[in-house]
Amino acid sequence: MSHPRGPLAQLRRGHEELVLGLLRKHGPLSRGELGKLCQLSRTTLYDILAGLVAGGAVVAAGPQDAPRGRGRPAETLTLNPEAGQAIGIDFARRAVHVAAVNLAHEIVGSASEPHDADLPWEQRVDLAERLIGSLNDGGLRLGALSAIGAGVVGPVGWPEPEDDPEPEDDPEPDEPAHPVQPLLRERFGAPVLLDNNTRLAALGEAIWGAAAGDRDVLYLRLSHGVGGGLVVGGALHRGAYGLSGEFGHITVDPDGAPCDCGGTGCLETVASIRAVLDAYRAAGGRADDVPELVKAIRAGDGTALTLLEGVGGTIGGVLAAVCNAIGPSVIVVGGELAETGPALIEPVERALRAQVMPVSRHRVSLRRATLGEAAGALGGIALVLHESPLLSRYPAGPDLAPDLLEDIKRRQP
C-alpha cells in the first residue's frame, strides 16, 4: 500500500482496507467469494487485488496453472503472513524497542537494543530500522505497512492555541511535532502516530498485559525516568497538552534534590534508576546497574534492602494519593527497577494500603507489569490499529497472536 494523499488515493485505500478486512475475518477467499462479500465491481476488485498482490500484502494460492474446466478449484487469496501492517517503536531514554504485527494482527516479533543517552535522532532511527529488519528472521515485508506508532520521552502535545495559525480550521490535531516524526516518515514512507512512550506502555499493559480487561488502570514505570499512564473508564487519558501521567514529578520532598523538570524533590529524584543507584553507593553499596543491585538484594544485602524499603514507601505514598484522586481497580508497576521484586514491591504495597482511603484498601490490586520492555512498542501498535491518537473509548484490543504474547511475557524476569 502506498500513501499518496487526495480523494482518489483515499478511496483506493478504503477499498484496500475493505478487502484486507474481509481476508482477516474470513481467511482465504476466492475472487468470486471476495466479490460477493465486498460488493465492488469486478474491474475495481481485480485492480485492487492486483495492487495488493504486487505490494506483497496478499498472496495468491491455488492451481493457477491447472487446466481450465469444470470442477477446477478456484485460486484463493490470503493475507501474506510476512507482510507487516503496523510497527510500534519505543524511543526510550537509553534504548530503542520495536515490535510489529502482520496483516492478520499477529505479533511477528519484538526486539530491543540499548544505546547512549545522547545518541542523535538520525542514529536512533537507524537503530530502529535495523531492529525492524531483524524481525521475523529478517523476513518482514513492509510493502503493506499502514502506519508507525512511536513513543518518545516527555510530553507529546500539539501546538498551543497561540502557536497554531488556523486553530478553527484544524480542530483535530493529529501530528504532534517532534524531530523523530519526519525522520520516520521519510525512512519508512508511512504515516507516524506519536505519543509519550510511557503512556503507550500503559496502553500496552492495559490491552495485552497485567491489566488486560480492566477499565481503570494506573501504570507506573520506574526506569531512567519515572512516569506513568492512566486508563480511565476504558479510555487512555492524555490530558491537556499530553501531560497526563507525570507521576514522577509529584513532589515528595520540598527540600529535596533539583529535578530535570525544573522542580525540586520530585518522586523521580528518589525513585529513578540513577537516584536509587546513587543513594545505594552513597550508603556504601556497590552496584553500577540494576542487575548488580538485584544481585545484591538476592544476596541479602542489608544496605540495599533498607534503601528499597524507604524508596518503596515513598512510591506507595504517591500511588495512594493518585489512587484517591482517580479510583483505579489496578495499579501496574513496570520498568527496570521493578525487577528488584518483593524488596521494592512489598514496601510499595504496605505504604499504599496504609495511606490509601480505607474503603479502597482491599479494592485496588497491585501488579507487576508483564510485557516488559516491549510494552511501549506494543502500545504504539495499538495506537495504529485503532487509528486514533487519542484512543478515546477504544474497545477490546485486536486479536494478537497469544503464543507470541506468551513468549514475550516468558522472557521477562
Would you call 8 exposed, middle or buried from its count of C-beta atoms within 10 A (0-12, 13-18, 19+)? exposed
231 near 411, Cβ under 8 Å?
no
Amino acid at 383: L
Of 224, 173, 231, 240, residue with least CA distance to 382: 231
Amino acid at 361: R
Least distance to Zn ion, CB of residue 215, Å:
29
Q: Which of 16/246 has CB closer to Zn ion?
A: 246
383-221-269-311 Cα dihedral, nearest 10 degrees: 160
Q: Which of 85/269 has CB closer to Zn ion?
A: 269
Q: How far apart are CA 279 and CA 293, in angstroms?
A: 12
Least distance to Zn ion, CB of residue 381, Å:
30
Of 87, 209, 184, residue with least CA distance to 136: 87
Residue 224's H or E segment, with its range, is: none
Least distance to Zn ion, CB of residue 297, Å:
26
C-alpha cell at 384: 495504529
Q: Which of 248/312 has CB closer to Zn ion?
A: 248
Q: Which of 83/267 has CB closer to Zn ion?
A: 267
Least distance to Zn ion, CB of residue 279, Å:
17
The count of residues in the chain is: 413
Q: How far apart are CA 37 and CA 22, in angstroms?
A: 8
Least distance to Zn ion, CB of residue 266, Å:
3
Task: Point out which residues bind Zn ion (CB under 5 A).
Answer: 249, 259, 261, 263, 266
Q: How far apart are CA 53 and CA 90, in angstroms?
A: 31
Q: What share of the chain is helix, strand, coil (3-state, %, to 5)?
A: 45, 20, 35
Least distance to Zn ion, CB of residue 34, Å:
55
Q: Which of 250/390 has CB closer to Zn ion?
A: 250
Q: Label residue 141 left, alpha or beta by phi (over 0 means left) and psi (-120 to 50 means alpha).
A: beta
250 near 271, Cβ under 8 Å?
no
Q: Which of 246/349 has CB closer to Zn ion?
A: 246
Q: Which of 97/199 has CB closer to Zn ion?
A: 199
C-alpha cell at 408: 514475550
Least distance to Zn ion, CB of residue 288, Å:
24
Least distance to Zn ion, CB of residue 250, Å:
8
Q: Which of 81/265 has CB closer to Zn ion?
A: 265
